[in-house]
Amino acid sequence: MVLSEDELSILKNLGKAGRRIPAGRDLVYQGQSDKVAYILNSGWAFSYKLLQDGQRQILDFEVPGDFLGLRSILLNMSDHGIEAVTDIEVTELHIDELLEIFSQSPRLMLAVLWAASRDDAMIVEHLIDVGRRSATERMAHYLMELGLRLELVGMADRSGFACPLTQYLLADAVGLSAVHVNRVLRELRENGLLTFRDGCVRFDDYVELSRFAQFDETYLDHSGPRFRQSFLAGLGNLREAG
């Protein structure tokens, strides 16, 4: 599902004209209670959870076009923080406004639910990454996933993409040490699979890389939420119950 220009402009006109956050700053703090949503217009960010002992697990990187804070809106998720990787520009959407918009444009709501669904599928895939794949496969798989997501917004193709992530960030995302991330990237480079250098990821052999990482892209390719008449009628009735 791709939103029309009209629909995107609805969202953009609605929010504050574009809030800017500098690199390294938190957009949302873990534990923050006022719920807001954002559309990431430019730059990269990531959502994370802090453990009691100070370790950090990055749940997902966010790239331009992504919705941030979905879980906070649709569901009562355990909370997490969001931090800017680069300078970013976001459109801030207050929930009330957003919900109002949904009532006017069901397609927009479908888009958001679709995004939430994809986020969920990605978390599952990351679970498999850290649970069942070697460090090298894991890194390859992760970077291919990022590439495909960026491809959808025209920021990547099968030859590679610009990537502002540090090896420390990648380490926190895939559950490795930064040192080992470096070794793994070298191995991938020396095997002619992919090159991570100077802020760019280059796929040196996409086909072979795909085989090596067991990358099955179908989990990113959903056709949209599945709703039917009676379900929607039920949702309507929630007005009295919610």
Partner DNA sequence: CGGAGGGTTGATTCCCCTCAAAATCAGTGG
Partner DNA sequence: CCACTGATTTTGAGGGGAATCAACCCTCCG
Closest CA to 67 of 36, 39, 92, 95: 39
Tokens read off for 5: 């220009």
C-alpha span between 30 and 56 (Å, rounded) = 12
Which of 128, 162 has the CB closer to a copy of itself?
128
Kindly tell me which of 4 and 55 has the beta carbon lying closer to a copy of itself. 55
Examine residue 191 and tell whether it contacts DNA (CB under 7 A): no
Check binding of 206 to a copy of itself (CB under 8 A).
Answer: no
Cβ pair 115, 227 in contact under 8 A: no
Place of tokens 């970077």: 143
In order of 58, 142, 143, 167, the CA distances from 175 in angstroms are 9, 11, 14, 12
Per CB under 7 A, which region of 101-109, 113-121, 140-148, 183-191 contacts DNA? 183-191
Among 186, 205, 211, 217, binds DNA (CB under 7 A): 186
186's contact among DNA, a copy of itself, none, with CB below 5 to 8 A by partner kind, is DNA
Residue 235 interacting with a copy of itself (CB under 8 A)? yes
Cβ(90)–Cβ(41) below 8 Å: yes
Residue 8 is encoded by which pair of tokens?
Answer: 């995107």
Closer of 168 and 227 to DNA (Cβ): 168
- Site size with DNA, rule: CB under 7 A: 19
| The dihedral sign for the CA sequence 62, 63, 68, 70 | negative
User: Binding residues for a copy of itself, how many (CB under 8 A)?
Assistant: 70
CA 44 to CA 50: how far, in whole Å? 19
Helices (H), the chain: 5-14, 70-74, 95-104, 106-132, 135-152, 167-174, 178-190, 206-212, 229-241
Answer yes or no whether residue 110 interacts with a copy of itself by CB under 8 A.
Answer: yes
> Which of a copy of itself, DNA, none interacts with 8 (beta carbon under 5 to 8 A by kind)?
none
Residue 125 Cα distances to 58, 95, 218, angstroms: 14, 29, 11
Asked whether position 225 contacts DNA by CB under 7 A, the answer is: no
144 vs 171 by CB, closer to DNA: 171
> Pattern 146-175, binding to DNA, x per CB under 7 A?
--------------------xxx------x
Residues lying near a copy of itself in the complex (CB under 8 A) are found at: 35, 49, 51-53, 55, 57, 59, 71, 73-78, 80, 95-96, 99-104, 106-107, 109-110, 113-114, 116-117, 120-121, 123-128, 130-132, 174-175, 214, 216, 218-219, 222-242
